[in-house]
Structure 1
C-alpha cells in the first residue's frame, strides 16, 4: 500500500514542532533503546497529570537518532503500556519517517483510570520537564479525581460533637419527622448520617454543613469576593470581603454581596421600572456559587473559592480539578459527578440545588441566549467559570 504523503507530512510537521519546544511539561524525548521501565515512567507521569507526547528516537538535546530496524517499536510501546503500568493504559502511536531517521510519536492523554503506578508501586506526576513521585497531597487529589476517595467523609482532627450546631441539625432532621434531641445516642445517629465518624470526630462535610465555626479547623473553606473598577485585577478595588460560616450561609451571603455590587441601570417604561440592559437572573449566580462550594477540593489548603467582579465579566474560581470522567466539553450539555457526595446529598436535601448535572447547562444556555460569553476552564489546580457581562 502506498503511504499517504499528506498524512506523513502532517506528522513530520508535528514532530518538528514538538522538538522545537524542547522537553517540557508535555513533551519528552527518549532514545530508541530506552529501558521499558523508563518508558513506563514517562507514560505514567503524563497520564497522571495532563497528558503529553513522547518522542522515541530523539535524544535529550533534540537530535533525531532514529529507530532501530530490527524492533517493532509500535508493538513494544503498546506492550509496555499494557504490561508495565497498573492499571493498563491506552495510548496512540505512529511511526514518522523524518529525513534523519524514523521517530515513534506516542500520544498519552490525561488518564481516565488515574492514578497509574509502576510495577514498583510508584505514583508519578509530571512537573516541568521531569517526573517525580507524587506527594501525599497530590496522591490524595489523584484518588479524589478518580472517585476512589471522598475527602468530605474524612475526620477533622480535634473536633467533636461540641463543634456542631445541634439546633441547625435538629431543624434539618425535623423535616423528616425525626427528633434528634430525643435520641440518647446522638453521636451514633450523626455517624450514620456521615456528619461524624464512628470515633466521634466531625467529618469535613459535617463541619462545613453544620459547624458552629468551620473555619476554626478549615481556615480556607470560605469565599473571597473582590469587585474591581475595570477589566483587570490591577484596577482599583471597590469592594473586598471574605465570607465564612457554614456552606448554606456562604452561598446566601455571597449572593447578597454580589447582588449589592452589581449595578442595575434602569428606565421608566409606562408605569414600571425596567432594566436598561440585560441582567442575569439570580438563579445563575446562585447555581455558580452552589456549584463552587459543593465541588471544590477541600483537601487543597491555602486557597479559597474566589468570586471576582469586573466591568466586563464575573469569575467564579474553585480550587480543584474536574474528576476523571468529566471534561470541559461535557459541562455545557450536562454531566453528573460528585467530588463531595455527602455535601451534595445534604445541599440537595436543603434545597440549595436541583438535580445534579442540570445547573451548568442552564447557566450556559442563559448566557448564550443573550449573546454573552461564557467559558469553563481548568487552570492549574483550579476550575473557572467566566461569565461575560
Structure 2
C-alpha cells in the first residue's frame, strides 16, 4: 500500500468533525475482544452508511484528532500463544479481508485498521453481530430496525466497482484511460477542461474519488477504456481478448494469425471486429452479372457474439478471458463462466448479466442490443445465409458459441437439422408467427417438391419434445417451441 496515500487518508479522517459510525480513534487501547466487536460494528455500519470500508486508527486523540502516536504493534501482538491477526480472522464471520497498516505519519506513529463493508451477511464476532451507537458497541440483534435496514443494504460483490488502480493523479488517469474514445462513443463533445472530463468519468463509474485529491480507476473503467490492460495488475491484463486463426479445421493446424488484445473492450471493440472480419475467409457467389465475395460468417452475427462474450463473462474467474478462434469451417467464441440462462433459452429469454454496469454502458455506446441479447439477430442472419445452426455449449466453467460456415443441407448432421428446426421455431414465435413445413423448407433451401425432408426433421423435433403443435385441435396451425 502507498504510504503517501495512507498519510493523506489519516489526515482526511482526522478532518472529520467527530467520530462517525464507521470511524473510531484510539490511543493505545488493544483489548482483543473490543477490537473484534468493533471490527463487526465498523463493517456493518460501513454498509449501512454506504461506505466501502470502516476504519479504526490508533495514535489519534479522539477529542482533538491530533496525532499523538501509539506503541500498538499489530504484527507482534499476541493473544495467548496465537498471533493476534490470525486469532481475529478466525472469529469474524463471514470472513472479512481486514488489514492493519503501520504508518510513519510526520506527526507520529499511527496504526490503521481498515475493515471492508459487509457484503453477503452481517459480520459477526464470535457469532454475534455488532453495531455502534455513539461510543457504545451493542449487539445488532437488540436493534431490529437497524438489522432490517442492514439486510436491505447488503449486496453481493460487484466486480465492476472494484478498484483497478488506487491513488492515481489526474495526469495518470488521463494517461491510463482512453477518455477521448469514451466521449466519442457516448456521443458527447470532449469537455474543454479537466474538471468536466473527470465529472463525466466519475458519473459513469469509471473512476471514483480517493484521498489527497487523487482518483481510483475502477475495474469498469479499466476493462472498457484502458489504453493498455497490461499497465494494470495481471488479473485484469488476462481479461484481454485473445484471437487465434488456424489454417485448417483443428488446433493441430498452423496458426496463421494471433492477436493478444491490449486495449479496453470499448476502446478496442470496433478495431477488433474489423480485424476479425478482415480475416474471415470469403466465398465467391456468382450473381446475374458479377462475382460477389461474401464472408464465411455474417458480419452482424460476429459483432453480436463477440459483444455478448465480453459482456456476459464471469469476471471473477481468474487467469482467463474471452477467446476467439477461427477455423476453416467455423468460428468458436469462448468466455469464462457458466451462463446465467440455459443455453437452449438464450435466444428468447432476456439476458442476465453478472456485469450490469458494463452491459448498460456497452448498450448505451451501441455495441449491443438495448433490448434482448441480440441472439435473435444472430439466428436471423444465420437463416438468411442458410448456414448450419450455431451451437451454444456450456462447459464446466465457460460458455462457448460455435458459428459454422456454409454447408449444404445434405451435409448437415441430423442433430444440426433438429437444432436448426428448434431455433427457427423460436425465431418465428418471437416474430408473432408459427413455424410450418413451408417456412422450414425455406430456412434450409429445400425445394418444396421435397417437403417431406422437412417433415422428417419436424417429426424428430416433436419426438425430442423441443417443439410442439401450436394448437392440438388444428394440427396445420404450425409449431412452437416446446416451452411455449
- Shared fold per TM-score greater than 0.5: yes
Q: How far has the Cα of 1:195 moved from its partner?
A: 1.0
Q: Hey, what does 1:197 align to over in structure 2?
A: 208
Q: Hey, what does 2:268 align to over in structure 1?
A: 250
Q: How far has the Cα of 1:282 moved from its partner?
A: 0.8
Give the TM-score normalised by structure 1: 0.55
* Structure 1 residue 351 corresponds to structure 2 residue 366: yes
Instruction: Identify unmatched segments of 5+ residues in structure 1.
Output: 1-114, 122-146
* Structure 1 residue 387 corresponds to structure 2 residue 403: yes
Pairing partner for 1:153 from 157, 161, 174: 161
Q: Hey, what does 1:378 align to over in structure 2?
A: 394
193-202 or 247-256, which deviates more: 247-256
* Structure 1 residue 283 corresponds to structure 2 residue 296: no
Deviations 1:330-381 (A, max 9, x none): 2022322222122222212221112242411221343355141311111121
Counterpart Cα distance in 1 of 2:301 and 2:352: 19
Deviations 1:109-148 (A, max 9, x none): xxxxxx99xxx99xxxxxxxxxxxxxxxxxxxxxxxxx93
243-252 or 179-188, which deviates more: 179-188
Distance 1:186 1:331, change over 3 A: same
Counterpart Cα distance in 2 of 1:359 and 1:289: 11
Counterpart Cα distance in 2 of 1:280 and 1:245: 25
CA RMSD of aligned residues (A): 3.3
Q: Hey, what does 1:305 align to over in structure 2?
A: 322
Q: How far has the Cα of 1:294 moved from its partner?
A: 1.5
| SS at 1:197 equivalent | strand
Q: How far has the Cα of 1:292 moved from its partner?
A: 1.3
Deviations 1:285-321 (A, max 9, x none): 0111111112222232322211111122210001122
Which structure is richer in relative contact order (CA contacts within 8 A, separation 6 or more)?
Answer: 1
Task: Please tell me whether the aligned partners of residues 167 and 216 of structure 2 are also in contact (alpha carbons under 8 angstroms).
Answer: yes
* Structure 1 residue 164 corresponds to structure 2 residue 182: no
| SS at 1:265 equivalent | strand
| SS at 1:351 equivalent | coil
Q: How far has the Cα of 1:196 moved from its partner?
A: 1.3
Q: How far has the Cα of 1:269 moved from its partner?
A: 3.1
**Count of paired positions:** 246
Counterpart Cα distance in 2 of 1:268 and 1:368: 20
Q: How far has the Cα of 1:385 moved from its partner?
A: 0.4
| SS at 2:316 equivalent | coil
| SS at 1:148 equivalent | coil
Q: How far has the Cα of 1:185 moved from its partner?
A: 7.1
Instruction: Identify unmatched segments of 5+ residues in structure 2.
Output: 1-119, 128-154, 406-484
Task: Please tell me whether the aligned partners of residues 169 and 210 of structure 1 are also in contact (alpha carbons under 8 angstroms).
Answer: yes
Pairing partner for 1:220 from 238, 241, 244: 238
Q: Hey, what does 1:42 align to over in structure 2?
A: none
Counterpart Cα distance in 2 of 1:386 and 1:153: 32
Task: Please tell me whether the aligned partners of residues 228 and 263 of structure 2 are also in contact (alpha carbons under 8 angstroms).
Answer: yes
Counterpart Cα distance in 1 of 2:166 and 2:257: 35
Q: Hey, what does 2:313 align to over in structure 1?
A: 296
Q: How far has the Cα of 1:267 moved from its partner?
A: 4.4
Distance 1:341 1:371, change over 3 A: same
Task: Please tell me whether the aligned partners of residues 211 and 246 of structure 1 are also in contact (alpha carbons under 8 angstroms).
Answer: yes
Deviations 1:77-111 (A, max 9, x none): xxxxxxxxxxxxxxxxxxxxxxxxxxxxxxxxxxx
